[in-house]
Amino acid sequence: MSVAFVKEESAETAAETLLPDRPVSPHPNLVTQAGLEALKRQLEEAREAYGAASAIEDVNERRRQAAGPLRDLRYFTERVRTAQVMPEPVASEVVAFGSTVTFSREDGRVQRYRIVGEDEADPKAGTISYVSPVARQLMGKRVGDVVSVAGQELELVAISCDG
């Protein structure tokens, strides 16, 4: 095997192991208690994956396999460190962080979401981030209020504090 080939592979491997950091939101890292627990689980999973990758004997393969978990370790360490657990809402008169909101759209669709932290948001699972356009417009509103989001009117039809 030529030295040129080895150097080229090493340069290629080095480029593969320099993954950019996952972007961290500029917004406060507000989370529910369940959101904090999820972040801690993801941090532990990243630690385990990094540990497994670190045990690989081939240095190039070890670097390749460790790159993703190392990036995740940095991200989740920061997210756990900066997490601010928000108290569960105790009243359902006004939309707040942790509230479950039900609203109707102009086209007749009715949607229900719980307002949570950015890392725990999953619209398909019924959660949206507190910094999403819909959540930002609904915060502080009461049942019957109408807000406009992306040129569409949404009427708040229910607020609950059952997370």
- The rounded distance, in Å, linking the Cα atoms of 23 and 78 is 11
Q: CB–CB of 46/69 below 8 Å?
A: yes
Tens digits of per-residue pLDDT, 9-30?
555 555 556 789 999 999 999 9
Query: pLDDT tens for residues 88-107?
Result: 998 889 999 999 999 999 99
**pLDDT band at residue 161 under the 50/70/90 scheme:** confident
SS (H, E, C) 110-124: EEEEEEECHHHCEHH
The mean predicted confidence, pLDDT, of the chain is 90
Question: Which residues are registered as beta bridge partners of 110?
Answer: 104
Instruction: Please provide the DSSP assignment of 26-65 as one string.
Output: SS--EE-HHHHHHHHHHHHHHHHHHHHHHT-SSHHHHHHH
